[in-house]
Structure 1
């Protein structure tokens, strides 16, 4: 769950790119004819995103009607497969740090996900603010059905500000083998409704299990190195090493499962005093 900046490219630029060399007719003509409607939809979408009201957008944007197939074509053949359109596609893809999927914060982003599905909202098919880099599993997990009320909204990386607090936490279960359990610790400025949305997103994508599985591998491969550092320099140095590792992940990528894991290990007296040798 990572925060991204809204793409700087606009739907006006996207329309120009996908139709520039589109020879198939009447596709280019029909797409260009809906430019003003797409520009209106873009403005409404961004405003709704900032206000947490994307679920209520359906009644505000114009109907695609008989132009639906052409608008979907603009995405599939223009933005994804067209030369000029693909440049915009790739620019949006580059908006996520280190190619990480912002929906899970763990997978590699390989595709663009329509936050509101293009099948229900064809006018949003090539609107950059509706296109978020995502990994394949998260893209597949996302439902093709648009949310109908606020309780169904997942987090939107462009609009939902999670703040700078360490809201992703882990605790170490001091057993053999040791395991990490992940949970959400709400930010001090989060409302109850926003906290519910964060927890819903965390649960919907199964992030607790994903992170725990990844952490198990990290614990297994790191224990020998940590045991060596404990033997050579003592528990204090090992704790400092773990704290610095957590700070490193925090400073580069914010709330990541790795940072939460190292912070939890640093807090565990059991681990820094030799718990890794019991694993």
Structure 2
């Protein structure tokens, strides 16, 4: 099967483009599936492909070891983008092994839509949309509340937007980003207080806008960029409503 596996490696990007046209090389053969799955153990410490595993993890250093799926947690596991249980021929293909965090690795699991072709975004071969589609809604009432949501854009085709929605659903990113936003705002409360006391609501508005622009360097749809855009657009928050962070837990 060596020639077939090498051919499959060459077809990898084609599979990503339209998985509906492909089936596994090992389809229908439990014996071949078992053999190919066994290759993954070669990446373990002290095994022949240990250096390959280490080099893949080193690629995460360029992202400060942040998980490319949630953009927050530290990487600690290798995810098979095309799950090895579905496509065992890619069990040790470096292009198919993505350094991710434990949470995202667990939630993604064996997700592989071969019917509709709605794959999640590949950290090496796909670019997340560079059009604003992730929004944070800030409500300042008795409490400060944050809610994330996705909104389609005429500049993004429906197939791509459906992939984005799928990624958020599989990884539970709305709730995850909400919790991260709570921690972010709590950590920054002293900055808001000092800025407002010194420069008023216009100063806080300016500071939040600068924080939004800084976060957008990580991507316009980064959770922190969406958060600070929403805060800078919320007049009530900027005019002193942020102080409700001090008195009442957020949700």
Q: 169, 172, 186: which one pairs with 1:203?
A: 169
Using the TM superposition, give the Cα deviation of residue 232 of structure 1 relative to its aligned residue in structure 2, in angstroms.
0.5
Equivalent residue number for residue 79 of structure 2? 113
Q: In the superposition, relative to structure 1, how do residues 196 and 163 fare at CA in structure 2: closer, same or farther (>3 Å)?
A: closer
Using the TM superposition, give the Cα deviation of residue 148 of structure 1 relative to its aligned residue in structure 2, in angstroms.
2.6
Equivalent residue number for residue 167 of structure 1? 133
Q: In the superposition, relative to structure 1, how do residues 118 and 240 fare at CA in structure 2: closer, same or farther (>3 Å)?
A: same
Using the TM superposition, give the Cα deviation of residue 147 of structure 1 relative to its aligned residue in structure 2, in angstroms.
2.2
Equivalent residue number for residue 75 of structure 1? 40
What does the per-residue CA deviation read over 1:105-139, in whole Å, with 9 as the maximum and x for residues that have no partner? 22221111012221232211011221112111111
Describe how 1:136-155 pairs up with structure 2 within 5 A.
136-144=102-110, 146-150=112-116, 152-155=118-121
Equivalent residue number for residue 5 of structure 2? 38
Equivalent residue number for residue 232 of structure 1? 198
* SS at 1:104 equivalent: coil
Aligned length: 242
CA distance in 1, matches of 2:220, 2:55: 22
Worse overlay, 162-171 or 211-220: 162-171
Cα RMSD, aligned residues only: 2.3
CA distance in 2, matches of 1:170, 1:145: 27
What does the per-residue CA deviation read over 1:29-48, in whole Å, with 9 as the maximum and x for residues that have no partner? xxxxx443222111222122
Does structure 2 conserve the Cα–Cα contact (< 8 Å) formed by 1:55 and 1:146? Answer: no
Long gaps (5+) in structure 1: 1-33
Using the TM superposition, give the Cα deviation of residue 254 of structure 1 relative to its aligned residue in structure 2, in angstroms.
5.0
Equivalent residue number for residue 249 of structure 2? none
Q: 22, 39, 47: which one pairs with 1:57?
A: 22
Equivalent residue number for residue 189 of structure 1? 155
Q: In the superposition, relative to structure 1, how do residues 160 and 65 fare at CA in structure 2: closer, same or farther (>3 Å)?
A: same
- TM-score normalized by the length of structure 1: 0.78
Ranked by relative contact order (alpha carbons within 8 Å, sequence separation 6 or more), the top structure is 1
Q: In the superposition, relative to structure 1, how do residues 39 and 186 fare at CA in structure 2: closer, same or farther (>3 Å)?
A: farther
* SS at 1:153 equivalent: coil
Worse overlay, 63-72 or 40-49: 63-72
Using the TM superposition, give the Cα deviation of residue 191 of structure 1 relative to its aligned residue in structure 2, in angstroms.
0.9
Does structure 2 conserve the Cα–Cα contact (< 8 Å) formed by 1:103 and 1:138? Answer: yes
